[in-house]
Amino acid sequence: MTLTDAEIARLGHDLPDLSTWGADMLVPFPARRLRHASVVWINRRWFRACGLDASSAEVDARLCHWLIDEFAHVVPRPEDTEASFAAGGREWFADRYGGTGWVPHGGSGRAGIAGRFQAKGIGVTPLVGRDADWLHAHGCLWLEEAIRETICAEIACAEFPHSGVPVLAILDTGLNAEMPPGQLGERRAILIRPCVIRPSHLQRAPLFKPFDAGSAAQPADARRTRDAVRTFFAAGAGWPGLIQLARRVAEQIAFGLVHRLDHGGYFSSNLGMDGELLDFGSMHASADWRREPVAGGSADAVTVFSAVLASLHFYLYKHAAEHLHTCTSAAASDEKLLAYFAQQHDRAVVREIRRYWALDAYSSESTDRMIAAMRRVIARGATLALDKPAAGPLAADLSAIDGALHEAADPAQRRRAWAAASRHSLPRALLDRTQLQAVIHAQVCNARTTTAPPRDTVQNAIRHCVTLSRRCWPRLPRNLIVLAQHGDDDSDVLLCVDPGSGEHALWIEAVSADATVVVFGQRLDTATTASFCVDAGSSSACLRIPCAPTVEDAAQSVLIGTAVLHLPPFALRYAEPDWIAMPPPDSAVTP
C-alpha cells in the first residue's frame, strides 16, 4: 500500500509547480523502472512535520512504496544490463535554466521532475550540452555524494539564516557506474528533494547545444526566459523580489563567512529565489578563515553573486519593462542593486559577528572595537583556537576583544561571549570534504560497493556526522551557554547553563504535529509540554526544562509534568576557554 492522494498533496502543498512557469520550462524524456532499487535514508523530521510519522512501521512501508514507485526510474547507461530493469517506466521532466558563466548545459543535466519533487541522479537528460565534459555529462549521482549532500543540507537547513532545500530521501539504484576507462565505479543513488524556483530560471542558457543538432533549443530557451520573468512578476515578486533575493543571499554569504561554512559557489543555479541554498556537493567547513577559490574560478562569493544580480537585473529589465514603475530605488540600476547588495552583506557580517559572540543585544563603542578586531582576524584568514595560547597579531586582537568585553559587558555576559565564541570556533572536522568522504567510504560504502548498504547504517552515519557538526541553534536564548549536545532524527537536546543565575537547563528542539511533540522517538502531548514550551512554530517546538548541574555519561531521564523523558548520552561536550578566568586587562589597546 502506498500514500494516499491526500497525503501526497499535503507533502507538496507549499512547493512550486514548474509547469505553470511557461510552456517551454520543462522538457519531457522517458526513463525505465529499476528492478533492484531500495530506500536507504528518509528525512523523518521533514515527513513528520508534514504529518507522516516514519517511525511507524506501517507509515514507513507506505512511504517507501511511494518513493520507489514514484522515483526509482533512470535513463539507462550503456553498461546497464537488462536484468537491472523491470517492466514499465515513466516520463520525467527536466527543467530549463540558464546561468551567468560559460555553462554548456540548458538546465538540469541529471535531475528529473515528478510533480512538485525533483530526483537527482536519474541519468542523462536532454539538457546536457554536447560540449560538456564527462564529469558534467554522465548523469549519475554517487551514493557517497548523495550522503554527503544530505549531511550538508541538514546543517544548512538548521543553521543558515534563510535555510536550504532539504534532502527528503536517498534511493540506492541497484547499479554501479562504469568509470573511464571501463572500470567498475561508484554505487549510484537517486536523491529526492522539493522543487524550487532558482534565479537561473530567469536567465538564458546561450551556450547550450543539445545532442540533437536539429532541435530548436535556443528559441525555446528564449521563450522560457521571457515567460519565467513575466510569471515572476505576475506572482507578485518582481523588483521587490529581486531586492529580497539580494538581501537574503548577502546574509547567507555573511553567515557562511563568519562561521567558516563554504557553500562552494553562490551561483544562480545553486540557490532558490527565496535565498535558500541548493546543491551541496561542494559545501565544506574550514578550520580557519582562509578564503578558498570557488568552483570554476578564484573569485569570492560576493563577486560571484554580484555577477548573478547584474545578469538578473538585465533579464528583468528586458522582459518586464512595463513594470518599471514598481521598481524600488535600490533596483533602479544594476549599479544601485550591487551597492545595496554590498551594503547588506557588510551589515550582515557585523550582525553575525555579534551572534558569534552572543552580543546581539549590546551596542556600544566598546563592542564596535571588538567587532573591528574580529574582522581583522577574519581578513587575515586566522585560526581562532581559543583552547590554545595565541601569539602575534591574533594575541593582540584577542586582547582587544577581551578589553572591549570588560568595558561593554558584565561578568556573566563576558563569560557567555567567550563560551559562544569558543563553541563556534571549534572546527567542524567532519564537514571537511576529504575527511567526510573518507568517513562515508569507511562506514557506509567504499568506492567499489556492489550492494545497497543497510538503512540503519546510512541513518546512523548521517545522524552521527550532523550531530557532531552542529554549532548554531538560531532559536537558542542568548543567555544560555551550551555545555553539551546530542541530536537525532526528530530532535536536538542541549545541556546549558545560565551564567547569570547559575541554573542549568535542557534546551530541546523537536518536531510537533497532531498535538504531539516527538523527542527522541517519545511522544509527548502538547498539554504536557505547554508549561515548558518557550518557542513554538507550525511544525516545531522548543522546550526549556530545568535540570541538575551534573551530567552522567549514561542516558538521562527528566520529568516533564507527569511524563518521564529518556534522553541519550551527549555526543559532544564543550570546554569553556581559559579567557573567562583572566583578570581585566590594564587597558584595551586597539592594535
Mean pLDDT of 259-266: 92
Residues 6+ away with beta carbon under 8 Å from 404 = 366, 367, 369, 370, 373, 588
Q: Is there a domain that residue 192 lies in?
A: yes
- pLDDT tens digit sequence for 333-357: 999 999 999 999 999 999 999 999 9
pLDDT score for 261: 95
Domain count of the fold of the chain: 2
Q: Is residue 178 part of a domain?
A: yes
Domain final residue pick, 194, 213, 235: 235
Domain residue limits at 110 = 5-235
Calculate the average pLDDT of the chain.
90
Report the candidate in 47, 276, 18 with the shortest Cα–Cα distance to residue 165.
276
Look at residue 33 and tell me if it is in a domain.
Answer: yes
Q: What sections of 357-502 are H helices per DSSP?
A: 365-379, 392-408, 411-425, 433-443, 455-469
State the pLDDT at residue 363: 65
Residue 244 or 291, more confident: 244
Q: State yes or no: pLDDT of 591 exceeds 50.
A: no
| Cell numbers describing residue 395 | 594575541
Residue 568 preceded by cis peptide, ω within 30: no
Q: Is 13 helix (H, G, I), strand (E, B) or coil?
A: coil
Residue 343 counted as domain residue = no
Does 551 have pLDDT greater than 90? no
Bigger pLDDT: 527 vs 508: 508
Q: Which of 235, 254, 283 is the last residue of a domain?
A: 235
* 68 is a domain residue: yes
Has residue 256 been placed in a domain?
no
pLDDT tens, 71-125?
A: 999 999 988 999 999 999 999 999 999 998 777 899 999 999 999 999 999 999 9
pLDDT band (50, 70, 90) for residue 254: very high
Beta bridge partners of 510: 491, 541
So what's the pLDDT on residue 589?
A: 41
- Give the separation between CA 299 and CA 293, rounded to whole angstroms: 6
pLDDT > 70? residue 315: yes
Kindly state the cell numbers that stand for 99: 546561468
Which pLDDT score, from 0 to 100, does residue 294 have? Answer: 53
CA 294 to chain centre: 17
Asked if the model's pLDDT at residue 484 lies above 80, the reply is: yes
Please give the average per-residue pLDDT across 296-301, as a whole number: 64
Amino acid at residue number 348: A
- Please report, rounded to a whole number, the percentage of residues in the chain having pLDDT higher than 70: 93
**74 SS3 class:** strand
- For residue 298, pLDDT over 60 is answered with no
In a domain, 412, yes or no: no
Q: What is the pLDDT at residue 122?
A: 96
Is pTM beyond 0.75 here?
A: yes
- Of 235, 268, 294, which marks where a domain is finished? 235
Asked whether residue 164 carries a pLDDT value surpassing 50, the answer given is yes
- Mean pLDDT within 472-486: 94
Model confidence at 487, pLDDT cuts 50, 70, 90, reads very high
Which has more pLDDT, 294 or 85? 85
pLDDT tens for 213-223 read: 656 889 999 99
Q: For residue 408, name the pLDDT band (cuts at 50, 70, 90).
A: confident
Judged against a pLDDT cut of 70, whether residue 555 lies above it is answered with no
Calpha distance 152→155 (Å, rounded):
5
Q: What is the pLDDT of residue 181?
A: 64
57 is a domain residue? yes
Is the pLDDT reported for residue 426 higher than 70? Answer: yes
The secondary structure element, H or E, covering residue 547 is strand 540-547
User: Which residue is it, cell 507549499?
Assistant: 14
Is a pLDDT exceeding 80 seen at residue 306? yes
